[in-house]
Each structure stands twice: as C-alpha cells, then as structure tokens.
Amino acid sequence: MQKETISDRQGITLMIMFLIGTAIVIVPGLDAKKDVWLAVAFTAIIASLVSLIYARLLSTFPGKDIFDIMNIVLGIIPGKVISVLYIWFAFHLGALVLRNMGEFIRNVGLRYTPMVIPILCISLLCMWGVKEGLELLGRMTEFFTPMILLFLVLTLLSLTPLMDINNILPIFYDGLPPLIKGSFSLFSFPYAETVVFTMILCHLKTKKSPYKIYTYGILIYGILGVFIVLSVILVLGVDITSNAYFPTYLAARKISLANFFQSFEIIVSLSFLIAGFIKLSICTLAACNGLSKIFGFKDYRFIVLPVTLLMVNLSLFVYDNIKQMYHWALAVWPNYAFLFQVILPVILLTASEIKLRSKKLA
C-alpha cells in the first residue's frame, strides 16, 4: 500500500465510525437481556485491554502493517499463510457488512427491490472510496463524525419522554451468566473487529498513535453504545428489542415532539449508512492491501474492482434471509472470529516479544 498518512484525530474518528457501523441498528449482546447496557460498558473495558495487543504490534514495528509484521516475526512462508487467513477475515467481514446494509435498506424502505440493487449501489460507492485511499476516508470521517454523534445524542434525548425505568429493573435479575454471554457476543461484534485496523494503519505520527487511536476510539464508542442500548431498552423493553430486526430504528420512529418534529428514524438510517460505508471501505481496503502484499504488487488500487465484485457475490449468497443473518451475527460469529481477534494476535505478539528480547540479549 502506498504511504498514506492520517492524523490521530482522523484515526480515532475512523475507529468510532467503524464501531458504529452495523452495530447501530443490530443491537448485539441481547443474551444479557435487561443488563445488555452493562455488558456494553463492561466489554468496552475488556476490549480496550485487548486492543493494547494490536497497538503494541503496530508501535513495535512503525510503518508496518500486520502483514509485514507476520513476515518479519514468523518468516515468509508462515507469514503468508496467516496473511491469507486475515485477508479472508477482512473480505468476509466486508461481505457481511454489505449484506447487512442491503437487508436494512430493503426491509425499511425498498421492500420489493431485489437485494442486488442496493448492494451494487453501495459497493460502487465503496469502490470509489477505497481507490481514493485511506487519507480521503480519514478526512471524510473527520467531517461527518461530529455531526453524526451530535444528531444521535439529540435523538436519544428526544426518546426521554418515552422511557420506562422498569424496563431495566431489577439489575442483575438473571444473574451473571447471561451478562458474560452477552459480553462475549459484544466483544466479537463490534469491538474486536477493530483488528482489521492492524491491516491498514501503517503510517502514523508517532509510535504512541496506535495506543491513542484504539483507546479513545473504543472508549468513545463504548460511552455512546451504552446510551444507545440503554435508550432502546428503556423505550421498547427487552422482549420487543430482542424480537425486532432493527430496534434502534424502531425506537426512533416513536419520537414525536409536539406532533411536529417526527421521522427521527432518518437520522438513524443516515448514521448507519455512512458508518456502514466507512466500515465496508476499511474491510475492502484491508483485503486489497493484504493481497497486494501477498503477490508483491506496488499498489493495491488496480485490484479493488475484482475484490469488490467478489465481495458483492459473497454477500448475496452468505445468507438466505434476515433470520439467518441474525443467527450468524449473534450465535456463530463470536466463536468464528475469536481466532482472528484474539488467538492469532496473542501468538504474533508473543513471537515478536521473544524475537525482540533475543536480539537484545545477542
């Protein structure tokens, strides 16, 4: 990947938008039931600690992404083998995000439109963004993030009259096991998906930049996530939230201020589409960057088109319907993604620390 430098501020906003992504309309962690908002807060702390692994890898090897680091630490052949796994992870995640966006558009707006139409429109926009590069995405998110956060906060405040405190009481009614199960689901989606950033964050201002980006990005989203989930549960209750396909959108539809200010669900929809576009672009960029490193290409841009088209094809076949989408996201994904999000990074960090210490002793 060509040298593309982004500021710490742009990196943080990219991280926030990536985390908002599809999680703003698909509420994860509902295994925790009434305590899901506690699970969001608890998982933010755990994810911040795990993200130190990602930040340590990037700061130890400045100017290198995880594909370069694997080749340095593990050797060329083992490094390329694991690189292929991470390319698949980024590619697969991008296809899932693309399908999630297509399902949302079709279910809340274009009900009788073939799925391929919204997916193609989104993918063409994503292809343009990825070809323009990380710097453009950074500037774009730096512009949009403050507005999206402001409008989301105003939407949540507008839900206040509809809230019922009894919907979250009593706290810990179901005990600790559901909270742990919900936290595990939340950890994999969306928090630990930020491992994808290790594939693209090559050129930052200082060696401490990865720590700053990961810590601030995850904690800011964690605070926002708590308020989003708490507001939805207080308005809809845990039963309706669990059975609704897009509970945040459903809650926003209930807002009516003085019978004049309505249609707040548009804010949720726009926030989801913009954040989803950023998340999809990051995943596509990561997959293209990895492929360029595997095959020794000097630039990733000429493979963006075929990668995007393959992603479109996978997104159309990955689910049969929206029920399967939810089953995968909430039941299968946490176990599937754990290898890429925790196990392999821990192995890589351990190997890199051993190699660095052996060099010092030598």
Return the pLDDT at 163. Answer: 92
**Alpha carbon 10 to chain centroid distance?**
16
Query: How many percent of the chain have pLDDT more than 90?
Result: 70
What is the overall mean pLDDT for the chain?
Answer: 91
268 or 345: which leads in pLDDT? 345
The pTM is what? 0.95
Q: Which range is least confidently modeled, 62-71, 224-233, 261-270?
A: 261-270
Determine, yes or no, domain membership for 350.
yes
Return the pLDDT at 355. Answer: 85
**Mind listing the pLDDT tens digit for each residue in 126-168?**
999 999 999 999 999 999 999 999 989 988 888 898 999 999 9
Return the pLDDT at 298. Answer: 86
The residues near 96 (Cβ < 8 Å, ≥ 6 apart) are: 315, 318, 328, 329, 333
Return the pLDDT at 112. Answer: 82
Return the pLDDT at 319. Answer: 87
**Mind listing the pLDDT tens digit for each residue in 327-344?**
888 889 999 999 999 999
Rounded alpha-carbon distances, angstroms, from residue 186 to 82, 134, 275: 25, 27, 18
Return the pLDDT at 113. Answer: 86
Average pLDDT over residues 292-321: 92
Q: Are 119 and 312 in contact (CB under 8 A)?
A: yes
Determine, yes or no, domain membership for 175.
yes
Return the pLDDT at 321. Answer: 86
Return the pLDDT at 357. Answer: 83
- In the three-class reduction of DSSP (H, G, I as helix; E, B as strand; rest coil), residue 64 is classed as coil
Determine, yes or no, domain membership for 70.
yes
**Mind listing the pLDDT tens digit for each residue in 12-65?**
999 999 999 988 888 888 899 899 999 999 999 999 999 999 999 999 998 899
187 or 28: which leads in pLDDT? 187
Return the pLDDT at 261. Answer: 57
Return the pLDDT at 111. Answer: 82
Q: Are 100 and 22 in contact (CB under 8 A)?
A: yes
The residues near 272 (Cβ < 8 Å, ≥ 6 apart) are: 20, 22, 24, 25, 101, 104, 249
Say if residue 258's pLDDT is above 60: no
Say if residue 122's pLDDT is above 70: yes
B/e letters for 61-94, b = 16+ CB within 10 Å, e = fewer, are: beebbbbebbbbbbeeeebbebbeebbebbbbbb
Q: For 183, list phi and psi in degrees, rounded to 5.
A: -65, -35
CATH for 25: 1.20.1740.10
B/e letters for 317-346, b = 16+ CB within 10 Å, e = fewer, are: eebeebeebbeebbeebbeebeebbbebbe
Domain assignment of residue 297, given as a range = 8-361
Determine, yes or no, domain membership for 179.
yes
Return the pLDDT at 346. Answer: 96
* Count of Cβ atoms closer than 10 Å to residue 41 Cβ: 16
Q: Output the six-digit token pair for 345.
A: 């990074």
The tally of domains found in the chain comes to 1
Determine, yes or no, domain membership for 276.
yes
Determine, yes or no, domain membership for 2.
no
**Mind listing the pLDDT tens digit for each residue in 199-226?**
998 878 788 899 999 999 999 999 999 9
What is the band of 69 on the pLDDT scale with cuts at 50, 70, 90?
very high
Return the pLDDT at 77. Answer: 93
Average pLDDT over residues 313-328: 90
User: Rounded distance, CA 42 to CA 21, Å?
Assistant: 20
Q: Which of 106, 126, 127 is nearest to 115 (CA)?
A: 106
Say if residue 68's pLDDT is above 90: yes
Return the pLDDT at 262. Answer: 62
Return the pLDDT at 305. Answer: 95
